[in-house]
Structure 1
């Protein structure tokens, strides 16, 4: 497989079940979902004129739509060459499930890494059996894509951005639709504003859900 890579970096996972886990992020290019609050809109479009070498991706100092095509073996070699110590790989985007991620999962797992995929749930999730799948269901977005039952069923956790009660109502309806109320649910304020955070806290307490506050943004890391 060739994967279009927008970013690769080592950091601390700031969201969901793996908050605090040293992680290597692999951000893939391409996403048709169209979330209005997306903070990685530079990953949406795939233009051939934006293709660059992987060394130039690693050297990025700002967000751009530039990407590099790399196989799973080349990505593993790149991680080793960087000397990164983290053993947890987070595949994100963009929308990573536009790709068949099974070769990527297998390659890294065979080398001793754990894998986590963060997806909108609007594409079939093709990953290894051991991969941890975080579905952040994108409901009624501009792209018009539906959240898939297969994605919700495969999810190890549901992580849902919220700003208003409407977002909470949408999530509850989705969980009921797919009989997924047994899944671990994290609510994540869309912004760091007090109103969104208070809504998430109160809703988590009322429903015995969990809070995800994007720790990396509060402590000022990538």
Structure 2
């Protein structure tokens, strides 16, 4: 499995915000979100192949970090993630899988962190739009989403760019019969100023709909850089 980076930090998003966590970030993605904040795992994927034993040694070397986050890119693209999560379960680690919800794998998982991609993610103009059609076709898989929210403890984390995104979010959440408190709205942005600007109106939308507001704590604390 191609790995972009392994690092320890706090979880910056979602229900476990603030929890010290070890992140294993795979490189490779079936989508090309226009606002992707980890282009080194999608638009220009980089990293090195690592065997399961090497990954587990990184986990064993950080015994304080019981929470392990598998992220990307898209970790569910890789069959090796099934063996990796089984090994992490045997080590009594808490496992979060961060996924766009477009691919199914029978993984071990304590929290399935699903980030369905909205229309605002499609790269119509980036790189001449050459990825737009495939991204638009793949970004929303209701069959996969339904299975994930049925079989795992979950959170639905949406990246929001404007108030008009809420209509699409409501439709997806309703179709999945999602509990409002498990629907998290996160402002799109990679700077503190942009996050604060969008948070001002996004918080109000969360209050009106019973959804959770999801800050990007790692960006607010450390800025937009790798390994945080």
- Classify the TM-score, shorter chain: 0.7 to 0.9
**2:187 corresponding residue in structure 1:** 189
User: TM-score, normalized by length of structure 2?
Assistant: 0.80
**1:24 corresponding residue in structure 2:** 22
Q: How far apart are the structure 1 equivalents of 2:2 and 2:16? A: 25
Q: How far apart are the structure 1 equivalents of 2:58 and 2:165? A: 39
| Contact 2:145/2:176, CA 8 A, preserved across alignment | no
Specify every segment of 5 or more residues in structure 2 that has no aligned partner in the other structure, as ranges.
123-131
Q: How far apart are the structure 2 equivalents of 1:148 and 1:72? A: 31
Alignment partner for residue 84 of structure 2, among 104, 112, 118? 104
Cα displacement string for residues 35-91 of structure 1 (whole angstroms, at most 9, x for unaligned residues)? 111100111158xxxxxxxxxxxxxxxxxx43122232321113324x452111100
User: TM-score, normalized by length of structure 1?
Assistant: 0.82
Computed over aligned residues only, the root mean square deviation of the Cα atoms, in angstroms, reads: 2.0
**1:80 corresponding residue in structure 2:** 60
Q: How far apart are the structure 2 equivalents of 1:80 and 1:181? A: 35
Name the structure with the higher helix share. Answer: 2
**2:71 corresponding residue in structure 1:** 92
Number of equivalences = 200
Q: What aligned pairs does 1:1-222 form with structure 2 within 5 A after superposition?
A: 3-44=1-42, 65-81=45-61, 83=62, 85-100=64-79, 101-128=81-108, 130-140=109-119, 141=122, 142=132, 143-144=135-136, 145=138, 146-155=140-149, 156-181=154-179, 184-191=182-189, 192=192, 193=194, 194-220=196-222, 222=228
Cα displacement string for residues 164-208 of structure 1 (whole angstroms, at most 9, x for unaligned residues)? 122211111112233334561111010242441122201110111
Cα displacement string for residues 89-111 of structure 1 (whole angstroms, at most 9, x for unaligned residues)? 10000111111322111101111
